[in-house]
């Protein structure tokens, strides 16, 4: 029996020093059973490090952890799970070559056979409204689908403390509502929840208490239900995020035209594209909304040049057929691309930021292929300064940055070259409100300079904030485009199920 008033988790004076930064500095935190406790802070504030300490993935240099009233040393995640602590990471910890069920099974005690675990996954997924196919290999899943596997894996252990790091960053509004029902149900059963999110509306709607971190230190504790978005922003970043300056778009020539794009999938679990057609003009932002796994990955591969099987004439850039052109040729014509996966696609984890600029930028490479090292470092340094990236300089490895800071660097790398067409997938995934406002502001500035911008995002608020027109993708098909002024969150949410009317197409 738990004693009344007993804390589920208590941190006392936690400190963690890395070579370039003190990630946590004398952090104290108290969480009660049944409490949904938000941890809020800008990118690089030390939130993820603190969660990894609780989960045993990182050792603190100083301080004490108390679990159900007793001091504990959590040496590794296995020990944390044995105590009853489960965590859903922002960057997923799944093995690509295994199925979803095999990944879940690895985290359990192996007393259950795999077939039983597979059945249990289906039951948990149905109970909580999380669409998960246990038999699919993880490499075939989109980011949103992988996140659902992580959440189901955590729920399978019946945790006493559930740590969620940006759990809704790639979920639809309907899925977020279902997740909140799940979390409230868990809390009512005595499970404590530590909830990291940059979405202030979510924190105010869901959480009972909020601890704010800035620069590795606790700067405040508040009841989020009594706060506004503005007051939480001030606590987190010391200011309110700047308001986006929206101008009426001045449309130029059609930059990207997609017509009759049908593609079979090379992956048995992928989504075939079915007669995709839309256009993006210079000087406008077009958004593609949709639940992850509905063809976004396949469409992005066809547009970026990663998949060059598109029928001739189905993809054109300023009138030139690029359906089967290489990514390098597309970049030469002015098409730049930001993929949804930061580590592994957008950046090489072990390479420095300076080296990572060379993935898509060639200004510092001579005609003979010599790399001018000083210029590369200067280019990376400019990106770090302009986009306010918190990093240990151009020599810092990509994997040493927080998710949000790496995102700012990757998006900045493509924006700074002044593309003619920028295609960006999940531009502000896991990015704090200040950085998100900056990235969105930069996208609008690009648009105002005459760039065509195509944004693929599962955050409807973001799409409504930056886009001039919206398209929905569902089951490999796209809806008619609709001006943002004529759309609503409810309508787009319905369209995500494939329920758009032909009447609207003729309107």
Q: Residue 197's closest CA among 467, 428, 392?
A: 428
- For position 423, what pLDDT does the model report? 98
Average pLDDT, integer, range 417-426: 96
Q: Is the pLDDT of residue 498 over 80?
A: yes
Average pLDDT, integer, range 392-407: 90
Run of H or E including 400: none
| Nearby residues of 129 by Cβ (< 8 Å), 6 or more positions away | 175, 178, 179, 181, 182
- Between CA 392 and CA 46 the distance in angstroms is 15
> How would residue 2 be classed by pLDDT, with cut points 50, 70 and 90?
low
- Between CA 203 and CA 255 the distance in angstroms is 39
Q: Is the pLDDT of residue 208 over 90?
A: yes
Q: Strand 254-263 relative to strand 217-222: parallel, antiparallel, unpaired?
A: unpaired
Average pLDDT, integer, range 334-340: 95
Structural domain spans, the chain: 9-237, 241-334+419-507, 347-417
Distance of CA 16 to the CA centre of its chain: 25
- Indicate if the alpha-carbon torsion angle 417, 418, 420, 422 is positive or negative: positive
Q: Is the pLDDT of residue 26 over 60?
A: yes
Average pLDDT, integer, range 209-228: 94
Q: Which residue has the higher pLDDT, 171 or 246?
A: 246
Residue % of the chain over a pLDDT of 90: 66
The 10s digit of each residue's pLDDT in 172-192 is 676 788 789 889 988 999 999
- For position 172, what pLDDT does the model report? 66
What Å distances lie between residue 190 and 78, 87, 458, CA to CA? Answer: 22, 17, 31
Three-state DSSP state, 476: coil
- Between CA 155 and CA 120 the distance in angstroms is 11
> How would residue 19 be classed by pLDDT, with cut points 50, 70 and 90?
confident
Q: Strand 315-317 relative to strand 254-263: parallel, antiparallel, unpaired?
A: antiparallel
- For position 503, what pLDDT does the model report? 40
- For position 3, what pLDDT does the model report? 62
Distance of CA 32 to the CA centre of its chain: 29
- Between CA 409 and CA 78 the distance in angstroms is 34
Contact 108, 157 (CB under 8 A): yes
Q: Strand 70-72 relative to strand 62-67: parallel, antiparallel, unpaired?
A: antiparallel
The two domains 9-237 and 241-334+419-507 share their CATH topology (first three levels equal): yes
Average pLDDT, integer, range 152-176: 83
Q: Residue 276's closest CA among 492, 491, 473?
A: 473
Task: Assign domain 9-237 to its CATH architecture.
Answer: 3-Layer(aba) Sandwich (3.40)
Average pLDDT, the chain: 90
- Between CA 77 and CA 52 the distance in angstroms is 9
- For position 394, what pLDDT does the model report? 97
- For position 169, what pLDDT does the model report? 67
Max CA pair span of the chain: 73
- For position 346, what pLDDT does the model report? 93
The fold of the 241-334+419-507 domain, in CATH, is Rossmann fold (3.40.50)
> How would residue 4 be classed by pLDDT, with cut points 50, 70 and 90?
low
- For position 279, what pLDDT does the model report? 98
- For position 91, what pLDDT does the model report? 65
What Å distances lie between residue 234 and 240, 243, 362, 437, CA to CA? Answer: 5, 14, 40, 14
Q: Is the pLDDT of residue 357 over 90?
A: yes
Contact 303, 425 (CB under 8 A): no
Q: Is the pLDDT of residue 286 over 50?
A: yes
Q: Is the pLDDT of residue 278 over 80?
A: yes
The 10s digit of each residue's pLDDT in 290-332 is 988 899 999 999 999 999 999 999 999 999 999 999 999 999 9
- For position 170, what pLDDT does the model report? 63
- Between CA 173 and CA 164 the distance in angstroms is 17
- Between CA 52 and CA 93 the distance in angstroms is 13
Q: Which of 201-205, 267-271, 485-489 has the lowest mean pLDDT?
A: 267-271
> How would residue 289 be classed by pLDDT, with cut points 50, 70 and 90?
very high
Q: Which residue has the higher pLDDT, 90 or 437?
A: 437
Run of H or E including 114: helix 114-127
Average pLDDT, integer, range 365-378: 94
pTM confidence score: 0.74
Please count the CA atoms within 13 angstroms of the CA of 163 that sit on its side-chain side.
25
| Nearby residues of 426 by Cβ (< 8 Å), 6 or more positions away | 143, 169, 170, 340, 456, 457, 458, 459
Average pLDDT, integer, range 202-223: 94
Q: Angle of helix 143-155 relative to helix 173-188, nearest 10 degrees? A: 10
Average pLDDT, integer, range 366-374: 93
Three-state DSSP state, 10: strand
What Å distances lie between residue 306 and 17, 300, 301, 419, CA to CA? Answer: 40, 8, 5, 18
Beta bridge partners of 256: 280, 317
- For position 80, what pLDDT does the model report? 95
- For position 1, what pLDDT does the model report? 47
- For position 456, what pLDDT does the model report? 96
Q: Other CB atoms closer than 10 Å to residue 371's CB: what's the count? A: 14
- For position 148, what pLDDT does the model report? 83
The 10s digit of each residue's pLDDT in 135-158 is 999 988 877 788 889 888 898 888
């Amino acid at each position: 029996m738990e004693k009344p008033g007993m804390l589920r988790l208590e941190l006392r004076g936690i400190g963690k020093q890395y070579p370039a930064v003190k990630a946590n500095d004398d952090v104290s935190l108290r969480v009660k059973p049944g409490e949904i406790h938000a941890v809020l802070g800008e990118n690089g504030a030390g939130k993820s490090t603190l969660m990894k300490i609780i989960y045993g993935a990182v050792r603190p240099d100083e301080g004490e952890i108390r679990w159900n009233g007793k001091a504990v040393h959590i040496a590794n995640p296995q020990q944390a799970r044995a105590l009853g602590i489960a965590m859903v990471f922002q960057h997923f910890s799944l093995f690509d070559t295994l199925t979803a069920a095999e990944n879940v099974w690895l985290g359990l005690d192996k007393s259950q056979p795999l077939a039983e675990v597979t059945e249990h996954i289906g039951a948990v997924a149905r109970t909580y409204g999380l669409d998960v196919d246990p038999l699919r290999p993880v490499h075939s899943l989109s980011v949103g689908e992988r996140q659902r596997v992580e959440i189901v894996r955590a729920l399978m252990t019946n945790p006493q403390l559930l740590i969620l790091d940006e759990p809704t960053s790639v979920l639809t509004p309907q899925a977020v509502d279902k997740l909140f029902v799940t979390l409230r149900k868990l809390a009512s059963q005595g499970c404590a929840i530590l909830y990291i999110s940059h979405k202030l509306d979510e924190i105010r709607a869901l959480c009972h208490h909020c601890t704010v971190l800035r620069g590795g230190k606790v700067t405040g504790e508040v009841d989020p239900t009594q706060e506004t978005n503005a007051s939480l922003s001030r606590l987190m970043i010391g200011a309110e995020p700047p308001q986006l300056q929206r101008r009426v778009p001045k449309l130029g020539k059609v930059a990207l035209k997609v017509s009759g794009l049908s593609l079979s999938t090379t992956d048995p679990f992928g989504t075939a594209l079915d007669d995709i057609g839309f256009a993006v003009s210079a000087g406008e932002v077009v958004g593609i909304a949709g639940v992850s796994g509905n063809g976004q990955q396949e469409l992005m591969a066809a547009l970026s040049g990663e998949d060059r099987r598109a029928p001739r004439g189905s993809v054109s850039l300023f009138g030139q057929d690029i359906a089967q052109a290489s990514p390098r040729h597309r970049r030469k014509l002015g098409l730049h691309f930001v993929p949804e996966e930061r580590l592994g696609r957008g950046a090489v984890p072990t390479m420095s930021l300076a080296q990572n600029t060379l993935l898509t930028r060639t200004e510092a490479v001579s005609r003979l292929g010599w790399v001018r090292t000083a210029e590369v470092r200067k280019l990376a340094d400019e990106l770090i300064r302009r986009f306010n990236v918190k990093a240990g300089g151009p020599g810092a490895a990509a994997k040493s940055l927080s998710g949000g800071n790496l995102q700012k660097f990757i998006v900045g790398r493509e924006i700074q070259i002044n593309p003619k067409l920028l295609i960006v997938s999940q531009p502000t995934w896991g990015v704090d409100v200040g950085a998100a406002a900056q990235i969105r502001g930069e996208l609008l500035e690009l648009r105002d300079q005459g760039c065509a911008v195509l944004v693929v995002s599962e955050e409807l608020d973001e799409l409504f904030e930056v886009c001039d027109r919206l398209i929905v993708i569902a089951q490999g098909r796209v809806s008619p485009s609709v001006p943002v002024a004529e759309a609503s969150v409810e309508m787009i949410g319905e369209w995500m199920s494939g329920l758009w009317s032909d009447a609207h197409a003729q309107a």
